[in-house]
Amino acid sequence: MNAATSTDPAGSPPEVHLYHIAYSAATRDALPAGYHLLDNLDSGRDDWREYWPMRNFLLTQPLDEEAFYGFFSPRFHEKTGLSADYVTQFVQSKPADVHTFSPQPDMGAFFLNVFEQEDLFQAGFIQSTEAFLSSFGIDVQLRSLVMDSRNIVFSNYLVARPAFWRAWLDINEKLFAICEGPESALRAEFTADTAYPGAVQRKVFLMERIASLLLALQPQWRVNAYNTFACAWSGSRLNQFKMEAVLSDALKIAMREQGFPEYQQAFAALRDKLR
């Protein structure tokens, strides 16, 4: 990596702790070099997928406030092509609170935000999510919220300081309380099975979008985003339109920075050509 290394006030680079989430003997034995093992073999709560081991770690382990932590599924290298050494160098290369490594650039670029993207596959996802967020005072119109490659991150492929992980955990614990609590309309919505292989519950797809929500709504977080277009594209037909994805993302960046209606019109026209 050519970038200069970011250092703490003492002059040394920040520590980076990367964890490989193992949910089977095969994924445990395939621990990549440079990762700590986060063993989830005997969790008994596969319904929460990666949130269960991440939650347990963040609730029980002492954290260094100046260090960085990342929790990756076994498919991280497959989806990004990155080694632990490269991730560490990238994190240490630039001062930031959050470093993102998001795959599926077409899924990020061709939708206004990650909630609109999921609503295509799970009708009603936006409505349920807005009701959930409103239940504790976050009132946001998700159909008009613009996200771009600087704040979109799929699969929780990020490395961040504890302050960000606490903010992430706070919202997800509210979701956890609803889904583990008494019967309610929201509980029924988010514990419903989806068509995703393995009948993954809807709550998992919301959990995986909380990081993007925080980065889009809270500008205090400094973000260093790895080039999403260098990562694996989705398995949908949208992966054919690479140039259009780059242009769509650039238009969304312009929409957030300038807000001129012409940018939104151009984005809508470009996207309509793909429908």
Q: What does the pLDDT look like over 240-252, one tens digit per residue?
A: 999 999 999 999 9
pLDDT category at 37 given cuts 50, 70, 90 is: very high
CA distance 80 to 59: 28
To the nearest 10°, the Cα dihedral for 235, 236, 242, 247?
-130
197 pLDDT higher than 90: no
Which residues constitute the domain of residue 55? 16-234
pLDDT on residue 147? 98
In angstroms, how far is CA 157 from the centroid of its own chain? 6
Instruction: Say if 11 falls within a structural domain.
Output: no
pLDDT on residue 68? 98
Residue 211's nearest CA partner among 150, 128, 139 is 150
pLDDT category at 43 given cuts 50, 70, 90 is: confident
pLDDT on residue 62? 97
pLDDT on residue 274? 86
For 117-168, how does the pLDDT look when each residue is reduced to its tens digit (9 = 90+)?
999 999 999 999 999 999 999 999 999 999 999 999 999 999 999 999 999 9
2 pLDDT higher than 50: no
Residue 181's nearest CA partner among 198, 203, 199 is 203
CA distance 196 to 194: 5
Instruction: Say if 35 falls within a structural domain.
Output: yes
Yes or no: say if 58 and 165 are a contact pair by the CB < 8 Å rule. Answer: yes
Q: For the chain, state the CA radius of gyration.
A: 19
pLDDT on residue 8? 54
Complete DSSP assignment for 92-138: HTS--SEEE----HHHHHSSSSHHHHHHHHSTTHHHHHHHHHHTTT-
pLDDT category at 229 given cuts 50, 70, 90 is: very high
Instruction: Say if 9 falls within a structural domain.
Output: no
CA distance 4 to 19: 25
Instruction: Say if 256 falls within a structural domain.
Output: no
pLDDT category at 1 given cuts 50, 70, 90 is: very low
pLDDT category at 3 given cuts 50, 70, 90 is: very low
Residue 215's nearest CA partner among 269, 245, 179, 171 is 171
For 252-261, how does the pLDDT look when each residue is reduced to its tens digit (9 = 90+)?
999 999 999 9
Residue 210's nearest CA partner among 144, 118, 122 is 118
CA atoms within 13 A on the CB side of 42: 0
pTM value is 0.94
- For residue 206 the two structure tokens come to 């919301």
Length reported for the chain:
275
Residue 40's nearest CA partner among 83, 6, 78, 73 is 73
**Helices vs strands, H then E, count in the chain:** 13, 6
Angstrom CA distances, 91 to 18, 34, 86, 158, 252, stand at 11, 14, 9, 10, 25
Residue 198's nearest CA partner among 17, 36, 49, 33 is 49
pLDDT on residue 198? 82
3-state secondary structure of 4: coil
User: What percent of the chain shows pLDDT beyond 70?
Assistant: 96
Instruction: Say if 60 falls within a structural domain.
Output: yes
For 91-121, how does the pLDDT look when each residue is reduced to its tens digit (9 = 90+)?
999 999 999 999 999 999 999 999 999 999 9
Total domains in the fold of the chain: 1
CA distance 150 to 171: 21
Mean pLDDT of the chain: 94
pLDDT on residue 83? 98
Instruction: Say if 274 falls within a structural domain.
Output: no
pLDDT category at 4 given cuts 50, 70, 90 is: very low
Angstrom CA distances, 31 to 26, 41, 76, 135, stand at 9, 13, 12, 40
225 pLDDT higher than 60: yes
Instruction: Say if 255 falls within a structural domain.
Output: no
Instruction: Say if 206 falls within a structural domain.
Output: yes
